[in-house]
Structure 1
Amino acid sequence: MDAITIKNLDVVFGKKTEQALELLDQGRTRQEIIDEIGQIVGVDNVSLSVKEGEICVLMGLSGSGKSSLLRAVNGLNEVSRGELMIKNGDKLVDIAQCNEETLRHLRTQRVSMVFQNFALMPWLTVLDNVAFGLEMQGIAKNERRAKARKQIEMVGLAEWEEKYPHELSGGMQQRVGLARAFTMDTDILLMDEPFSALDPLIRSQLQDELLLLQTKLNKTILFVSHDLDEALKIGNNIAIMESGKLIQHGKPEDIVLNPKTEYVKDFVAHTNPLNVLKGRSLMQPLDSLKQEDQRWKICDAKNLWVNQHPSTLSIEGQPELTLVKWEQINNDFSAINQTTLVIASPEIGMRDAIKLKQLSNHPILLVEDNQLVGILDNNEFYSALIGDFQLNNAA
């Protein structure tokens, strides 16, 4: 189910909202509206959905509307027109129509926010900063501190809980902000460029920590970033905005490999496709391989065949080879050598696939629902490395 559903959303800043909306309906641009009536269109007719447990990254240049959209989700920016639905239990609540009591409930129980500037109270310790939101909910001191300690430990600051913000590095302060948001135990996290003020090494570490925490907590995260590499690393989906409009929304791989406009193409121009390519995009499908009954020839030089049984595969041609399922060995490269033939998901990243090919010197078998769907071999790896490829229809 969708945790956030946005339909035809407009956000206008200023006192002439209706006039600005009329001009939008007439097809006027954002700049024309500023020039004519001095109103700023922050969000222009955006429709977007974010599923439960998804990390959706909002991207765009400065002034594109990404932060304006994010802040509308918890009511910090007032909705001028359209729907903005938040999942609340088994129901959907429209932020644009709800009363103050409902909005307060959503902010304290359903939606938390992590700011770029950390927003820590300098007079409170790490422990009390993390517990602050629970204090606002009226939770007793012992209970809120116990909950806060669990999250402080999760972000690796257990030994720092009695310190004050000025005694922490920037990266540690951001961890406190994360812990505070997680302590609220809301299902939706809004993150407004939370790592952009940090140096690259700390930023990369916090991105890794966020992904690790997400595997444990499975939050719905709407994440604003201007860093494409960050978006590709953490996002299940990416939404690119320009002048308040949503230009393209999709999986990272699709955004990079199939940009819909020149704006998006310029945005992704310097991205290494290896960072986003999946095996499914480049694989040789079964219909391109020699087939005899339910077996396929995967290597002419080695006369290597793979048999498809109802729920398993077997090998012909090289009896010394052992089939190894990549996911079942926990992505352990040390278990791969030239006596192993690797089975992997079509969603395997091409960086991992290239490494597996190097270690095994055999094609990679791509299997979905226990059925062979294609292979990756030298041609696919060369294409990925030089960026000369045609995507499969399955991508």
Structure 2
Amino acid sequence: MSKLKIEGVTKVFGKNTSQALKMVGNGKSKEEILKETQATVGVYDVSFSVEEGEIFVIMGLSGSGKSTLIRLLNRLIQPTIGNIFIDGENITKMNKKGLQSVRREKMSMVFQNFALFPHRTILKNAEYGLEVRGISKEERRLKAEKALQNAGLLSYKDQYPSQLSGGMQQRVGLARALANNTEIILMDEAFSALDPLIRKEMQDELLELQASLQKTIVFITHDLNEALRIGDRIVIMKDGKIMQIGTGEEILTNPANEYVRTFLEDVDRSKVITAEHAMIRPITIQVDHEGPKVALQRMREEKVSVLLTLDRARKYIGYITANDALRLSQAGEKSIQSIIRTDMPTVEPSTVIQDLLPIISDSPTPIAVVDEGKLRGILIRGVVLEALASEKNGGESHE
């Protein structure tokens, strides 16, 4: 069961909602609907699910509906039609008391403008959500201090927001959300007000915290590079509608339409495309029962001069060369164990091409792509460069 599920959610602001909904269904634009009905379509027929422990990014330009959507998720805005489920429970049907409980215990929110209380210390700000929930003074202090420690701010606990930089204030906002220990964190343009260097540091910090805490995070941004950097999956919105949902790599390699394709034009693919995307099928040999003659035969068939070696469990060991296999064959040897080389670089499937380029340019051998000890593929310099070039040219090789 998904942690968060949205089914057919639509939000129309203003009067004449029925007429506006009908016009949207007939393909009319937001501008046409506004002109004829004086109603604004914020979100239209949005459906998706968010899995537990996922960073789910909702992105789009100004007016795309992303900020409206995140406020629908905790019912700061009431949907016109549609359903929103948390752990299978429909919060659109909840009364005020039930909704208040969900906001206090199930989800917390981090805002773009930090939303800190200027008259409260950093510790008291971090405690605030716990205080509202009626947690005892000592328990909330301990929880808040732990959250501040995770955010690297414990030594500032007695200072006030005005004494901290923008980046540090945003970390306090994040610590406050973590102190509440809610399962879902909503982050609305949380890093947008920060300068680029601090913003990148906050992205790194969020990813580090997520690795250990495994919260379910819905993150709103207008910055595609930020979305690609932190998102497990990404939604791209336009005029209140979803244009595409997928992983960063799925969206980059197979844009759903011309709008998404245009949206992606300025992305640096080398920072997103991964080894898994660029790798090719490896030619292998098993060291336990295949010898030099089999190796030479396979090299002739496949027209290669190197074979990657696997053990009986198909775990990666290293590689052998044609010259070494020929020498053993001529000597009458039956095993290739003595000629296995282990100097081939290895990378994980998720390694981005930007990080691969210096490795592959300096290596006299290809690169093995290994996942938990098992060989997934092999990277060759020309194929990596070709994959990067094809992405820069709009992904023609994937059409």
- Fold match by TM threshold 0.5: yes
Q: Distance in 1 between matches of 2:26 and 2:354?
A: 48
Q: Distance in 1 between matches of 2:129 and 2:59?
A: 28
Q: 1:236 aligns with which of 232, 238, 258?
A: 232
1:256 shift after superposition: 1.7
Provide the secondary structure at the position in 2 that maps to 1:341: coil
Structure with the greater alpha carbon radius of gyration: 2
Provide the secondary structure at the position in 2 that maps to 1:249: strand
Q: Distance in 2 between matches of 1:320 and 1:359?
A: 23
- 1:32-71 pair list within 5 angstroms: 32-71=32-71
Q: Distance in 2 between matches of 1:153 and 1:130?
A: 11
Q: Distance in 2 between matches of 1:110 and 1:160?
A: 28
Provide the secondary structure at the position in 2 that maps to 1:112: strand
In structure 2, stretches of 5+ residues that fail to align are 325-337
Q: 1:316 aligns with which of 293, 317, 320?
A: 320
Partner of 2:175: 179
Q: How many residues align?
A: 370
1:348 shift after superposition: 2.8
**Structure-2 change in CA distance of 1:208 and 1:198 (3 Å):** same
Partner of 1:331: none
1:48 shift after superposition: 1.1
- Percentage identity across paired residues of the two chains: 41
- 1:1-395 pair list within 5 angstroms: 1-87=1-87, 92-286=88-282, 289=283, 297=299, 303-311=305-313, 312-314=315-317, 315-317=319-321, 322-323=341-342, 340-368=343-371, 371-387=374-390
Q: Distance in 2 between matches of 1:121 and 1:290?
A: 62
Question: Deviations along 1:356-391, whole A, 9 cap, x unmatched?
Answer: 324442111224575534210111232245346879
Q: Distance in 1 between matches of 2:127 and 2:190?
A: 19
Contact 1:290 1:297 in 2 (8 A): no
**Structure-2 change in CA distance of 1:297 and 1:269 (3 Å):** farther
Q: Distance in 2 between matches of 1:143 and 1:166?
A: 26
Question: Deviations along 1:28-71, whole A, 9 cap, x unmatched?
Answer: 33222211121111101111111111111111110000111111
1:9 shift after superposition: 1.0
Provide the secondary structure at the position in 2 that maps to 1:206: helix
Contact 2:285 2:308 in 1 (8 A): no
Provide the secondary structure at the position in 1 that maps to 2:93: coil
Question: Deviations along 1:309-349, whole A, 9 cap, x unmatched?
Answer: 331234323667654xxxxxxxxxxxxxxxx1234433332
TM, length-normalised to structure 1:
0.86
Q: Distance in 1 between matches of 2:20 and 2:93?
A: 20
1:22 shift after superposition: 3.4
Q: Distance in 1 between matches of 2:303 and 2:358?
A: 21
Q: Distance in 1 between matches of 2:8 and 2:210?
A: 29
**Structure-2 change in CA distance of 1:313 and 1:209 (3 Å):** closer
The aligned amino acid for 1:306 is L
Q: Distance in 1 between matches of 2:132 and 2:316?
A: 58
Q: Distance in 2 between matches of 1:387 and 1:22?
A: 42
1:82 shift after superposition: 1.3
Contact 1:281 1:391 in 2 (8 A): no
Q: Distance in 2 between matches of 1:173 and 1:369?
A: 39
In structure 1, stretches of 5+ residues that fail to align are 324-339
**Structure-2 change in CA distance of 1:45 and 1:302 (3 Å):** closer
Contact 2:58 2:219 in 1 (8 A): yes
**Structure-2 change in CA distance of 1:15 and 1:95 (3 Å):** farther
Contact 2:279 2:384 in 1 (8 A): no
Provide the secondary structure at the position in 1 that maps to 2:267: coil
Q: Distance in 2 between matches of 1:99 and 1:354?
A: 56
Contact 1:42 1:65 in 2 (8 A): yes
